[in-house]
Structures are given as structure tokens and as C-alpha cells.
Amino acid sequence: MTLHRRAVVRALMQNPTDDLLVIAGLGQCTWDITEAGDRPQNLPLWGGMGGAVMIGLGLALAQPDKRVLVITGDGDMLMGLGSLATVAAQRPANLVIVVLDNEKFGETGNQATHTAPVAGGPSDRGAGTDLAAVARGCGIADSTTVTQEADIAVLARDARTKSGPIFRNVKVLVETLPNTIVPPKDGAYLKDRFRQAVVGAA
Ligand SMILES: Cc1ncc(C[n+]2csc(CCOP(=O)(O)OP(=O)(O)O)c2C)c(N)n1
């Protein structure tokens, strides 16, 4: 794996328009989207695990004229796998799911997740869980794995323009990154800020 997560997120969020709604899964993705530029249309989930895609799905269905980009980790995605079947059933054309797959629970100390290859052990299953294959199996036909620097520009373009639902599993390096730029910590404030940006003052 050679891709740097922050470079991927910066490419995904370059020059965002107001109709780009970004949901970040917990842990490092929350820091990543904030480093790319905090904005009211960003909803970082801080410590809420397993629900990033479900939140994105609800939002995409409620706001069909906006583009919904979910950026989350493999740990969060593995916890919420059932959401992929519902995305496939609902087929929101405006939903893009990008998993930054470092094969670790990065935020809690880099414990291996099930996307990591397993050598030995009771099941000796070899390759780890292939999240793009899971998404495809759920019925999201446009599901691929991204591993190359050269594919980032296409990833970023597809994320903003291609008809969805789209699923991309991006294999990224395990990195220890400074979290010097953090989003607001108050969940109610973040929710209200986001809501106002999406639907205006209630
Ligand atoms: C329900 C629940 N279980 C465990 C945690 C602790 N936790 C916080 S971040 C994290 C790891 C997240 O891993 P991943 O989604 O792969 O993100 P990464 O930090 O590797 O990008 C865990 C297990 C939590 N916040 N909530």
C-alpha cells in the first residue's frame, strides 16, 4: 500500500461546492476531512462507530439534489456492513462511499481489522475481507478497489460527477499523523451547523 490518506481526502474535497455534503466516519477520517478544510457541510462523527454509511444513505435520499460523500475507515465499514445491502436496494444516484482501508483500527492503536490478510490462525483464511467485493455482492455494481496514485484523479472526478451509488475501497498506508486541526467537539453544534447549511434556518 502506498497511498497517503490525507492526499486522497484532499483530492476528494478539493474546491468543494456548497452542495457537497461530507460525512466522515470516526477516528482518523474525522481529522482528515477537517485538515482538508472545515466547513458547515462537513459532518465528522468523532467517536460514533458503524453508522457512517447509514447516515449518508438517509441524507442522500432526503436531499437528492445534493451530492453525499461518505469517507470512512475499514473498522467503521466492517461494523456497518448491512448498510451496503440497503444502499443497493435504495440505489441513491447521489451517494458515494469511500473507505480509507488501512487494515487497522488506527485510532485505537493499529489493531488489525478483518480486511488485513491473516497468516496462520484457526481459519487460515489468507486474504482479508475484500470490502469492494462485499459491496458488489450486496448489489452496488460500481464497486472497486483503488491502490494506485494514478487512479486518485479519476476517483476524485467520479466522486463528484458519476452517477451512484458508487463504492470505492482505497487501500492506504498506516500512518501516525498529527491531529493539530480538529473539528468542533460539540455534537449538537455540529448537527445544527450541518442542518442549517443543508436546509437553512428552521
Ligand atoms: C462502538 C464503538 N466501539 C469502539 C470504539 C473505539 N474506537 C474508536 S476509533 C476506533 C477505530 C476505528 O477504525 P477505522 O474505522 O478503521 O478508522 P481508522 O482510525 O483506522 O481510520 C475504535 C475501535 C468506538 N468509538 N465505538
Residues 135-163: tens digit of each pLDDT: 999 999 999 999 999 999 999 999 999 99
Residue 9 Cα to ligand 1 middle (Å): 18
Q: Which atom in ligand 1 lies closest to the alpha carbon of residue 105?
A: 13
Structure confidence by residue, pLDDT tens digits, 45-72: 999 999 999 999 999 999 999 999 999 9
**CA distances from residue 89 to 43, 69, 70, 121, 183 in whole angstroms, order as listed:** 24, 18, 18, 36, 33
Q: Whose CA is nearest to atom 4 of ligand 1?
A: 49
Mean confidence (pLDDT) of the chain: 94
Write a three-state SS string for 26-52: CCHHHHHHHHCCCCCCEEECCCCCCCH
Question: Is the per-residue pLDDT at 122 higher than 70?
Answer: no
Question: Is the per-residue pLDDT at 94 higher than 90?
Answer: yes
Confidence of residue 120 (pLDDT cuts 50, 70, 90): low
Q: Quick one: average pLDDT of 79-98?
A: 98
Confidence of residue 176 (pLDDT cuts 50, 70, 90): confident
Residue 105 Cα to ligand 1 middle (Å): 6
Give the count of beta carbons closer than 10 Å to the beta carbon of residue 190. Answer: 18
